[in-house]
Amino acid sequence: MPSPWPTPRQETYRDILSMYYPDFYACWRERLDRALARKLLKPREEAIIVGSVHAVLHSSPAIIEGVIGKAFDAGASVVEVLEAMVRVGVQEGQHALSSGGEALWNVVQEREAAGRPVPARGAPLPASDFPPHSPWTPAQFPYQTPHPRYWRQIITKYDPERAKIMEGATAAHAKLPAQLSRRMIELIDVAVDAVIRWKAPRLDHHIHEALNCGSNVQEIVEVVLVSAEAAQLAHESHISARRTESGVEIIHHGLQALWRVTAERQAVGRATLTEYREAS
């Protein structure tokens, strides 16, 4: 059975936003109310995104395992969930992969022992799920500078052997038959960056790319909402969990970035899907 929606926490977030950020709330009220009245985020995708956030924040194993179980119940495959955990491991460090990967292992063992379905892989994804990244040169948006990023430039300049190994590994990984679409990768990054309150304009990068991959403004609002609640649950669940700002501050941070991105795209005539099932 799906969890009741909206949760009491989500309704509290709405009340606090209206009280402390009245102008901000007025701009987002319609979309927030629509999300709370009828969330359209797919259960499988929501579980993978929320599970990724819990892995980054090191929530209790029981919470991460419970969310991964929901992903399997909704039709996810082992490799699809694994790719999400590898992604957050790359973005946020080995501990995220450890928290998520160990929870995934436990869930798979328990489900196999109980005779419950745990498909290793799903159907192959079409090429349309992997659109190319937007060109970075010439820079069109603030997030595209500097290019390459300074961390990459310093490795290339001072440790070229390491840079060559890293480039080779990236190319090899790109040839693997992926189970996680580019849109989902970008939505996971949006969720995590909103939760850790990643700085502007770097958070904007993944919102731009999610929209380029077929996401929409309403979907990203819902991603931010469910991720904010996951973050608040995390530090209540485990002594080792990373502390974050409140769910309200996470929503405020994430939607401010979404506002910037839509304004930047409008300014240059870049298409921005706003609703589910909207034609691209």
Q: What is the spatial distance between Cα 16 and Cα 243, in angstroms, rounded to a whole number? A: 20
Number of H helices, E strands in the chain: 12, 0
Nearest to 202 by CA among 135, 153, 144: 144
Residue pair 243/184 in contact by the 8 Å Cβ criterion:
no
pLDDT at 198: 95
Residue 177 phi, psi (nearest 5): -75, 100
Token pair 């039709």: residue = 75
Can you identify the CATH homologous superfamily of domain 8-121+181-267?
AhpD-like (1.20.1290.10)
pLDDT at 3: 74
Between the CA of residue 78 and those of 16, 104, 109, 128, 165, what are the distances in Å?
38, 8, 11, 22, 28
pLDDT at 117: 86
Domain boundaries, the chain: 8-121+181-267, 136-178
Residue pair 190/206 in contact by the 8 Å Cβ criterion:
yes
* Average pLDDT, 10 consecutive residues per value, the chain (280 residues): 84 97 97 97 98 96 97 97 97 94 98 95 95 92 95 97 96 94 98 96 96 97 97 85 92 98 96 86
pLDDT at 279: 63
